[in-house]
C-alpha cells in the first residue's frame, strides 16, 4: 500500500513561497554579516586540509560534513553564508512539499513553509558559521525522500529514493555525530513498513541493502579514513570529551591514574568559577593545551584519556551524573534564541515566535497521550498502522536526539535546532487531520491520509 496518492496542483503556492523565501534572504544577506563561533576555526582548518589535500596535521576531531561546505565555498565565509541561505530556501520549499503531500492542503503547506522563512531564530542561524543549518538541510532531505517513497508507485524510483534518503541521513551524521543513529533508524522504519505491507522478501532484502549502501560507503568510509590518519576507527576522536562537562563539578574524585590531567582540569574549572562563569562548557577546551603539554599525548590520545577520566568519575558518583540529565533535557527543549547583541525589535519578535514554538513542543509531547486517551475526550481517531509507524518514526527522531544529548552533552538549545522542523511537521499534520475530520463528524474522527 502506498501513501498520499492524490496529485496536487500547487505551482502558484510553490512559486510564491520560493520567491518570498528568496527575497527575505536577499535582504538578510545585504543587511547582516556572518557570525563566527568558537567552533568555526576548527571547521575552517579541516576545509584547508581538504583544499591542500594534506591531512598530516588532522587530529580527527571534526567530521567532514560541514568542512565540505566550507571547502565548496572556496573557504570564503561570505560564500558559506550564501550557501546556508540557499539551504534555508530549500528547507522552506521541502517543508511545503512534505506538508502538502501529507495533508493534501497546499495552503496550509504554504504557511508552514513561509513560517520557516519568517522565524527569526532560524534565519539567525543561517548567518552563523556552524553546523546546525547544514544538519537540518540533510535531515529534511531525508524526510522529504521518505514521504516521496511512501507515495511512490514505481519500484525502481522507490529504490532510488531510499538510496538518496540514507545518503542525506549519513551526511547529517557526518555533519553532527549526534545523528549517527539516524540512518539506522530509517532502516528500521522502512523494514517494518515493508513487512507490515507484506512486501516480497527479495524486495525487502534489496531495500535494506540499498539503505545500508550509503552507510557503508559514507560513514564506514569516513571511519576508515580516520583510522588511517589517526589510528582510531571513530566518527570523531573528540567523542566523549563533552562528557567531561557533565562531571565538571566533581572532577576531583577521578582516580589518581588521571592525576596529571585531572589537576589541570580542576585548576581551570576553579578559575572559571571565580569569574562566575558557567562550568558546563569551555573548561576542557581551556585546559586542553596545558594537558597536552604536560602529557605529551597526541590530540586523539588525550581526547580518549579525558573520556576515560570522565567515565571514571561517573562510575564513582553515578547519582550526580544522573542529576545532570533533567537540566540537559530542559536546555534541549528550550527554543534557540538570537543573542543579546540583536536589536530590541528583533529580540522582541523572536520572543513571541519562541513562545509559539514552545506551544508546538507542548502539543508535540501531548498528542500521543491525547491519542491513547481519546475515549476520555469522547472522540475517535482512527490511525492505521502505517500512520502510527510514520509519525512514530518522526517522534523517535526527535526523542532519540534529546536523550543522546541529555546523556552525553550538557545540552544547548542549538542542539535541537536541526530537528525542530520535525516538530512542526508532526503537530501541523496531526492537528489538521483531527480538526478537519472531527469538525465534520464529532462522533468519529478518522485520520486516514496515510493508508
Q: Which domain holds residue 379?
A: 11-236+333-447
Check whether residue 360 and residue 306 sit in a common domain. no
Average pLDDT over residues 171-179: 95
- Same domain membership, residue 195 and residue 253: no
Closest among 25, 191, 6, 180 to 103, alpha carbons compared:
6
- At 186-197, the pLDDT tens digits run 999 999 999 998
Domain end call among 288, 316, 344: 316
Residue 434: inside a domain: yes
User: Are residue 191 and residue 112 in the same domain, yes or no?
Assistant: yes
Q: Are residues 122 and 270 in the same domain?
A: no
pLDDT band for position 217 (cuts 50, 70, 90): very high
CB atoms under 10 Å from CB of 50, counted, come to 18
1, part of any domain = no
Q: Is residue 291 part of a domain?
A: yes
Burial 271-286 (b: 16+ CB within 10 A, else e): ebeeeeeebbbbbbee
Same domain, 212 and 262: no
**With contact defined as beta carbons under 8 Å apart, do 162 and 213 qualify?**
no
Question: Does some domain include residue 321?
Answer: no
pLDDT of residue 402: 94
Which residue, of 259, 287, 316, is where some domain finishes? 316
Residue 406 lies inside a defined structural domain of this protein: yes
> Could you tell me if 254 and 391 lie in one domain?
no
Pair (266, 414) in one structural domain:
no
Residue 6 counted as domain residue? no
Q: How far is CA 70 from CA 46, 114, 418, in A?
A: 9, 27, 19
> For 269-293, how does the pLDDT look when each residue is reduced to its tens digit (9 = 90+)?
999 988 888 777 778 888 999 999 9
All three cell numbers of 380, joined, read 475517535
The mean pLDDT value for 417-430 works out to 95
Answer yes or no: is 5 within a domain: no
- Give the Cα-Cα-Cα angle 86, 427, 187 (nearest 5 degrees): 70
CA distance 360 to 358: 5
Whether residue 290 sits in one domain with residue 188: no
How much is the average pLDDT of 119-130?
95
Q: In this structure, what is the dihedral angle of CA atoms 67, 73, 74, 76, given to the nearest 10 degrees?
A: -100
- In order of 24, 210, 322, the CA distances from 303 in angstroms are 42, 35, 23
The predicted structure's pLDDT at residue 380:
66
Same domain? 398 vs 268 = no
For residue 343, count other CB atoms closer than 10 A to its CB. Answer: 9
Is 3 domain-assigned? no
Structurally, the chain folds into a number of domains equal to: 2
Mean per-residue pLDDT of the chain:
89
CA dist., res. 164 & res. 147, Å (int): 12
Amino acid at each position: 500500500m502506498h501513501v498520499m496518492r492524490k496529485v496536487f496542483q500547487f505551482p502558484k503556492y510553490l512559486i510564491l513561497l520560493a520567491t518570498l523565501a528568496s527575497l527575505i534572504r536577499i535582504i538578510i544577506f545585504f543587511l547582516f554579516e556572518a557570525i563566527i563561533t568558537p567552533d568555526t576555526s576548527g571547521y575552517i582548518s579541516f576545509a584547508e586540509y581538504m583544499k591542500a589535500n594534506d591531512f598530516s596535521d588532522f587530529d580527527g576531531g571534526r567530521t567532514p560534513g560541514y568542512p565540505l561546505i566550507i571547502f565548496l565555498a572556496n573557504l570564503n565565509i561570505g560564500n558559506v553564508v550564501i550557501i546556508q541561505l540557499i539551504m534555508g530556501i530549500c528547507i522552506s520549499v521541502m517543508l511545503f512539499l512534505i506538508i502538502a503531500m501529507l495533508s493534501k492542503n497546499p495552503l496550509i503547506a504554504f504557511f508552514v513553509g513561509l513560517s520557516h522563512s519568517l522565524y527569526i531564530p532560524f534565519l539567525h542561524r543561517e548567518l552563523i558559521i556552524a553546523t546546525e543549518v547544514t544538519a537540518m538541510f540533510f535531515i529534511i532531505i531525508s524526510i522529504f525522500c521518505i514521504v516521496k517513497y511512501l507515495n511512490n508507485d514505481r519500484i525502481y524510483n522507490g529504490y532510488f529514493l531510499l538510496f538518496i534518503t540514507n545518503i542525506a541521513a549519513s551526511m547529517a551524521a557526518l555533519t553532527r555525530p549526534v545523528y549517527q543513529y539516524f540512518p539506522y533508524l530509517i532502516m528500521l522504519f522502512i523494514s517494518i513498513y515493508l513487512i507490515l505491507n507484506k512486501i516480497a522478501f527479495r524486495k525487502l532484502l534489496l531495500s535494506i541493502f540499498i539503505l545500508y549502501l550509503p552507510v557503508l560507503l559514507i560513514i564506514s568510509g569516513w571511519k576508515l579514513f580516520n583510522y588511517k590518519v589517526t589510528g582510531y576507527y571513530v566518527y570523531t576522536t573528540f567523542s566523549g570529551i563533552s562528557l567531561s562537562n557533565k562531571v565538571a563539578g566533581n572532577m576531583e574524585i577521578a582516580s589518581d591514574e588521571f592525576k596529571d590531567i585531572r589537576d589541570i582540569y580542576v585548576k581551570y574549572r576553579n578559575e572559571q568559577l571565580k569569574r562566575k562563569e558557567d562550568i558546563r562548557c569551555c573548561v576542557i577546551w581551556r585546559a586542553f593545551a596545558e594537558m597536552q603539554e604536560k602529557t605529551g599525548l597526541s590530540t586523539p590520545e588525550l581526547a580518549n584519556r579525558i573520556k576515560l577520566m570522565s567515565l571514571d568519575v561517573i562510575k564513582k558518583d553515578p547519582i550526580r551524573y544522573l542529576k545532570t540529565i533533567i537540566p540537559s533535557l530542559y536546555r534541549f527543549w528550550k527554543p534557540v534564541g538570537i543573542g543579546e547583541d540583536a536589536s530590541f525589535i528583533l529580540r522582541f519578535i523572536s520572543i513571541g515566535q519562541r513562545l509559539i514554538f514552545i506551544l508546538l513542543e507542548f502539543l508535540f509531547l501531548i498528542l500521543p497521550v491525547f491519542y491513547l486517551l481519546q475515549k476520555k475526550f469522547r472522540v475517535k481517531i482512527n490511525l492505521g498502522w502505517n500512520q502510527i509507524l510514520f509519525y512514530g518514526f518522526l517522534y523517535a527522531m526527535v526523542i532519540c536526539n534529546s536523550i543522546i544529548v541529555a546523556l552525553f552533552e550538557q545540552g544547548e538549545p542549538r542542539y535541537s535546532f536541526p530537528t525542530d522542523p520535525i516538530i512542526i511537521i508532526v503537530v501541523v499534520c496531526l492537528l489538521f487531520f483531527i480538526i478537519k475530520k472531527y469538525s465534520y463528524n464529532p462522533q468519529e474522527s478518522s485520520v486516514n491520509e496515510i493508508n
